[in-house]
Structure 1
């Protein structure tokens, strides 16, 4: 618990005090803030690190912060590690952890807290949440932190992400689907596809093609149309991407998570200012379309869709060239139907000889924290397998995308 004058919080909907109270579950009656205080949930590792900080110790000694100990139901780490889940909780807290995962120290930056709330408001006001029934968002629509003098971030930052899932939901991250299986076992992707084949009495190759078409219906088309109509692109890499497989194993809906990964086109800035003025004040959200195309090419196509293509090839379900051909046909269709930024994006994937990729190994070797102030990702390029020449080369190789 912390003195209310130290607390900074905001929400696009439900009051933060109500969110925090709901996370306590059956312990709500046993843990209470005193008058003039507010409760703050903390990850155990986060709390341990904070209590070693001299400024925090001073606030504890003065009674402005009180450690109340463990409380609430059991939470389990999600694939992002610092976001945790409970079957019975309506919210998934996303904590600041003093650990480095995939190139970056995983702390919530102040601008990320504000961006999550602002984007949630924008999506509701602009009708983006209901724009496409096959596309959904897990908004980071509330946050709480402590404002400790002289610190941009105090370490107490907690983001509250909407939890739409229950224990029996058949929703899975793309990263889990495409992960390398344990020795002697089949991948999760292969198991899903072979179940589709059995249920529909078709071959594994036919099932994989059908699965991939359904996957593009919800993971490609809506995202490109979103960018075309609203100038909003998503950092849709494998871990940020969830698929609803409740329709006999076939993808029926794509869900996106992560307030760090929204790219808003500068060409829409004036429009968004009229709807949600505070969005325009968050400079980290806005990009030129050229840069958006490069990043979307990597996150959506190379990191996510190519991972599915590679998994299918490795599992021997269908050739990579076959799935690349399906993807190319879909991109041609989008390029022909759309008229704005989405058309430019789809056309560039078909025409450009090279495609953007993120140089994760170089980032790690150079010890770059891409999420820290002044840090940035490093991008490179490789031959585009969706171009005419690239598609021919893919047909001549095994695991062309995976290599």
Structure 2
């Protein structure tokens, strides 16, 4: 079945998008981070009628925001206007004023400056403004529309749209603009190509490329990455001598997904996870050599487990690159194939699209039209997402990274969740001591493992704080009085695992670990070493009156 037919079959139409202003979205993200990581832990935030007031503990500045709805649940729903207290009056606080205040507070709190921080926030604002201006008309494919819906990005990141390079370099490849592009193709001699995994995995994709000359293998390349590598002397020499043949693009189109560098090729029903030697939000998005090998290792180890869990982890069956005397080229031209979505039941939707405040994906699902229906929808959603993640970790030592961009929720014709698919083997890890990885190179094995404590923090953060909390808040935006009821319903799905002490602690209400994106950016720490701050646990049983 073609994905372009799904809209007609399901009756789900492309949602309309409320207006988004780059300044307001930037200010909201900064304040969300400030409140979660600085003000709330020091009890410097409080509601005041239809507003939320927050005090910067060391700078002493007092800020006020609007609230989109009454404060309930574990996160606030901030809304303009954003204001700063000056003597006896409230004055407007622009996004760049807020960025300077946040920077000043963090410098006082840490004793360390960060001259990059304001530039990163400004870059994110510039990128968001460019995206809004360039965003084209809607896709007629519901799944693709959901992948390209995250206009404002992560609600709890100080620079969610920071993207290395000028907008003119990347707008044509940006998912948020609803872009499509044609990959370039290199023809590589068989003794220069390097690949691992299923030898037939690239066959279907290559059939959409240009004809390969005899004795050569096709390698798809992201055109943005190809331009970034153009200064490589090794690549220049290989092209000049005809060792590598640049065949240019073919007619097949690729659709950039929410991660920017991973593109979906609908005709072949396959994802290409390309390298990009650019920093996007936190990290330079290249396929390191140990990540290429690690994907294949996990793809061999994990499928039997997910069959037992009756769940889906999208396979990454093979990678391909070139073996030339330059590691930058080996990693930069490395591409990982990922299983497509046409075999999934129902209509797959990116989970993040259901929480983005600038589209109406969730509101347009018929299954949430009444409070009773919305409660049943949430129950079905949690049932599809939470048990596989918990069981994978607790029973099998597998650390999934089920944040909003790594989960596809499949819905039926009425929008009811019927299945969840998890993706991204780069973020998937194994609990140290639970798996035998002695057959792997030491650097590969190291990258594939987390300590039990670190793995649990990652699972709880991604599943509860980043994902389910945001889904619940989006449902409660539609039906506000359900806010607390939703979490009491969710307890049942966690209670099924209460023979594990970690789950009993969650049900007892221990604070949840929230990834400290603001502090991580300020400290310029690698994302893998990000710290956590405690945040309220909505799973806690209600206290008797």
Same fold (TM over 0.5): yes
Match of 1:399 in 2: none
Q: Residues 248 and 359 from structure 1, CA distance in 2 versus in 1: closer, same or farther, beyond 3 angstroms?
A: same
Given the alignment of the two structures, is residue 92 of structure 1 paired with residue 268 of structure 2, yes or no? no
Per the alignment, in what secondary structure is the counterpart of residue 347 of structure 1?
A: helix
Distance in 1 (CA, whole Å) between partners of 2:346 and 2:493 is: 29
Q: Residues 302 and 23 from structure 1, CA distance in 2 versus in 1: closer, same or farther, beyond 3 angstroms?
A: farther
Written as runs of structure 1 = structure 2, the 5 A alignment for 1:358-373 is 358-370=515-527
Deviation at 1:53, TM superposition (A): 1.9
Q: Is the 8 A contact 2:219 2:320 kept in 1?
A: yes
Aligned partner of 1:80 among 241, 244, 259 = 259
Deviation at 1:178, TM superposition (A): 1.0
Given the alignment of the two structures, is residue 21 of structure 1 paired with residue 21 of structure 2, yes or no? no
Distance in 2 (CA, whole Å) between partners of 1:359 and 1:94 is: 27
Deviation at 1:112, TM superposition (A): 1.5
Q: Is the 8 A contact 1:178 1:311 kept in 2?
A: yes
Comparing 219-228 with 280-289, greater Cα deviation is found at: 280-289
Given the alignment of the two structures, is residue 7 of structure 1 paired with residue 196 of structure 2, yes or no? no
Per the alignment, in what secondary structure is the counterpart of residue 128 of structure 1?
A: helix
Match of 1:345 in 2: 502
Deviation at 1:166, TM superposition (A): 7.8
Given the alignment of the two structures, is residue 292 of structure 1 paired with residue 455 of structure 2, yes or no? yes
Given the alignment of the two structures, is residue 235 of structure 1 paired with residue 401 of structure 2, yes or no? yes
Per the alignment, in what secondary structure is the counterpart of residue 224 of structure 1?
A: helix
Deviation at 1:174, TM superposition (A): 0.8
Given the alignment of the two structures, is residue 335 of structure 1 paired with residue 335 of structure 2, yes or no? no
Match of 1:33 in 2: 213
Deviation at 1:146, TM superposition (A): 1.8
Q: Deviations over 1:206-239 (max 9, x none)?
A: 1111011111111011221222322112000000
Match of 1:63 in 2: 242
Q: Deviations over 1:292-341 (max 9, x none)?
A: 111111011111111111112223354321111112233223214xxxxx
Written as runs of structure 1 = structure 2, the 5 A alignment for 1:125-274 is 127-133=304-310, 135-151=311-327, 153-165=330-342, 170-182=347-359, 187-192=360-365, 195-196=366-367, 204-246=370-412, 248-270=414-436
Match of 1:384 in 2: 537
Q: Deviations over 1:256-277 (max 9, x none)?
A: 110112121223223x66xxx4
Deviation at 1:115, TM superposition (A): 1.6
Q: Residues 167 and 285 from structure 1, CA distance in 2 versus in 1: closer, same or farther, beyond 3 angstroms?
A: closer
Comparing 292-301 with 306-315, greater Cα deviation is found at: 306-315
Per the alignment, in what secondary structure is the counterpart of residue 246 of structure 2?
A: coil
Greater CA radius of gyration, 1 or 2?
2
Cα RMSD, aligned residues only:
2.6
Per the alignment, in what secondary structure is the counterpart of residue 485 of structure 2?
A: helix
With normalisation by structure 2, the TM-score equals: 0.61
Q: Is the 8 A contact 1:171 1:246 kept in 2?
A: no
Q: Deviations over 1:236-295 (max 9, x none)?
A: 00000110102521111110110112121223223x66xxx4498522112222211111
Q: Residues 249 and 235 from structure 1, CA distance in 2 versus in 1: closer, same or farther, beyond 3 angstroms?
A: same
Higher helix proportion (structure 1 or 2): 1
Q: Is the 8 A contact 2:234 2:326 kept in 1?
A: no
Q: Is the 8 A contact 2:201 2:317 kept in 1?
A: no
Q: Residues 33 and 357 from structure 1, CA distance in 2 versus in 1: closer, same or farther, beyond 3 angstroms?
A: farther
Distance in 2 (CA, whole Å) between partners of 1:221 and 1:279 is: 32
Distance in 2 (CA, whole Å) between partners of 1:266 and 1:97 is: 30
Q: Is the 8 A contact 1:90 1:163 kept in 2?
A: yes
Distance in 2 (CA, whole Å) between partners of 1:39 and 1:215 is: 41
Q: Residues 72 and 162 from structure 1, CA distance in 2 versus in 1: closer, same or farther, beyond 3 angstroms?
A: farther
Distance in 2 (CA, whole Å) between partners of 1:380 and 1:146 is: 42
Per the alignment, in what secondary structure is the counterpart of residue 129 of structure 1?
A: helix
Distance in 2 (CA, whole Å) between partners of 1:293 and 1:386 is: 16
Q: Residues 263 and 248 from structure 1, CA distance in 2 versus in 1: closer, same or farther, beyond 3 angstroms?
A: same
Q: 5+ unaligned residues in a row in structure 1: which ranges?
A: 25-29, 199-203, 337-342, 397-403
Per the alignment, in what secondary structure is the counterpart of residue 181 of structure 1?
A: coil
Q: Residues 92 and 321 from structure 1, CA distance in 2 versus in 1: closer, same or farther, beyond 3 angstroms?
A: same
Deviation at 1:369, TM superposition (A): 4.5
Per the alignment, in what secondary structure is the counterpart of residue 323 of structure 1?
A: helix
Per the alignment, in what secondary structure is the counterpart of residue 319 of structure 2?
A: strand
Aligned residue pairs total 357
Q: Residues 345 and 242 from structure 1, CA distance in 2 versus in 1: closer, same or farther, beyond 3 angstroms?
A: farther
Per the alignment, in what secondary structure is the counterpart of residue 391 of structure 2?
A: helix
Q: Residues 19 and 304 from structure 1, CA distance in 2 versus in 1: closer, same or farther, beyond 3 angstroms?
A: same
Distance in 2 (CA, whole Å) between partners of 1:129 and 1:295 is: 19
Q: Residues 215 and 279 from structure 1, CA distance in 2 versus in 1: closer, same or farther, beyond 3 angstroms?
A: farther
Deviation at 1:158, TM superposition (A): 0.6
Deviation at 1:41, TM superposition (A): 0.4
Q: Deviations over 1:171-225 (max 9, x none)?
A: 101100111035xxxx321221xx1256xxxxx1111110111111110112212
With normalisation by structure 1, the TM-score equals: 0.81
Q: Residues 205 and 244 from structure 1, CA distance in 2 versus in 1: closer, same or farther, beyond 3 angstroms?
A: same
Given the alignment of the two structures, is residue 303 of structure 1 paired with residue 486 of structure 2, yes or no? no
Q: Is the 8 A contact 1:208 1:318 kept in 2?
A: no
Per the alignment, in what secondary structure is the counterpart of residue 420 of structure 2?
A: strand
